[in-house]
Structure 1
Amino acid sequence: MQQYRPRIAIIGSGTGSKSICKTAYDIGLLLAQHGYEIVCGGLGGAMEAACKGSYDGNGVSIGILPGAELTAANPFVTVPIATGLGNMRNALVVGNAAAVIAVDGEWGTLSEIALAMKTGKTIISIGRWNNLDGVIPVASAKEAIATVIRLFPTHFESN
């Protein structure tokens, strides 16, 4: 029977401050180092930073794109998936993950949080959405990854 690496969605703003992008990068890197795949919207900002972290950690990043062109993916996406669905692709990002980590973000991020809540996914939040009922608030990338490892252990873990 095939064993799949757990996928964790990293959601956040398509444009982000240096601080937000650094946090997203660290999350992507740490997830890769611990044997997790990431799934995200595949564009810029926090998504690109998370994919770069995963890339630097020799991980796999799946970018579920809003448009119909694979070339729209950021350069660090390992597996781009063009959907042509616009913002409706948010359901695919959430649906392909065991858990969701929100790194700040705007309304699109909030829609993904709502979809995750509706489908019973674990939601970990750093920043803006920490005060929402049903999310696990954390203060750092390391704390987010510790939470993922505790809730979704993997035998692929390399550290």
Structure 2
Amino acid sequence: MHPGRLEGRYVAVVGPADDARDVDLARAEAVGRALAEEGAVLLTGGHHGVMRAAARGATAAGGVSIGLLPGSDRAAGSPEHTHLLPTGLGELRNGLLVRAADAVGAVGCSWGTLSEIALARRTGVPLVLLDPWDLPADAGVVAADAPAAVRAVVGLLAGR
């Protein structure tokens, strides 16, 4: 078996928690699974919604998922994650999540997700979007589905 194209890379998957739609959850799980199959380590915010679905996909594919929690209670994270790291930073953990990632994939959108999108955009972290809010054309690569999103991440990281 050959190493995946994202071996040694850390990719954050961000998206809504409370307001995640069924389509967001299905896409996030598929993205998490495909990232793990490509050898990436998955990073999330550690909670429910898109974060939990992406972690479920990654661990089901035998990958590693790390959740960076906003609070200080490890037990508050979703159990689908391989590792849960309490930061005690509150919403500031969004910045830590983005800066720890080699690329960010946003599935759906919410106010917290929008902050992560903006942080990735402002700091030059490659960004792929699945069903984002109406954003400027230069916000990131907009993908039609989970396989296209992972192909876009691979492409964006190929030269880095």
Q: What TM-score comes out, normalization by structure 1 length?
A: 0.90
Counterpart position of 2:126: 122
Question: For 1:15-71, what per-residue CA distance to the aligned partner results, in whole angstroms no more than 9, with x for missing partners?
Answer: 311111000000000000110011010000000000000010110111000110111
> 2:17 aligned to 8, 14, 19, which one?
14
Q: What TM-score comes out, normalization by structure 2 length?
A: 0.89
Q: Identity of paired residues, percent?
A: 38
- Contact 1:10–1:101 (CA under 8 A) maintained in structure 2: yes
> 1:79 aligned to 76, 80, 83, which one?
83
Q: Distance in 2 between matches of 1:149 and 1:118?
A: 21
Q: Distance in 2 between matches of 1:18 and 1:108?
A: 18
- The alpha carbon displacement at 1:96 in A equals 0.8
> 1:143 aligned to 124, 148, 156, which one?
148
What secondary structure does 1:77 align onto? Answer: coil
- The alpha carbon displacement at 1:79 in A equals 1.4
> 1:108 aligned to 107, 112, 125, which one?
112
- The alpha carbon displacement at 1:128 in A equals 2.3
What are the equivalent positions in structure 2 for 1:94-105 lying under 5 Å apart?
A: 94-105=98-109
Q: Are 1:33 and 2:37 an aligned pair?
A: yes
- The alpha carbon displacement at 1:127 in A equals 0.7
What secondary structure does 2:63 align onto? Answer: coil
Counterpart position of 1:64: 68
Q: Distance in 1 between matches of 2:9 and 2:108?
A: 23
* Structure 1 stretches lacking a partner, 5+ long: 154-159
Q: Distance in 1 between matches of 2:66 and 2:117?
A: 18
Query: What is the aligned-residue RMSD (CA, Å)?
Result: 1.2
Bigger relative contact order, structure 1 or 2 (CA pairs below 8 A, ≥6 apart): 1
What secondary structure does 2:116 align onto? Answer: helix
One-letter amino acid of the counterpart of residue 146, structure 2: A
Q: Distance in 2 between matches of 1:130 and 1:24?
A: 19
One-letter amino acid of the counterpart of residue 9, structure 1: A
- The alpha carbon displacement at 1:152 in A equals 2.2
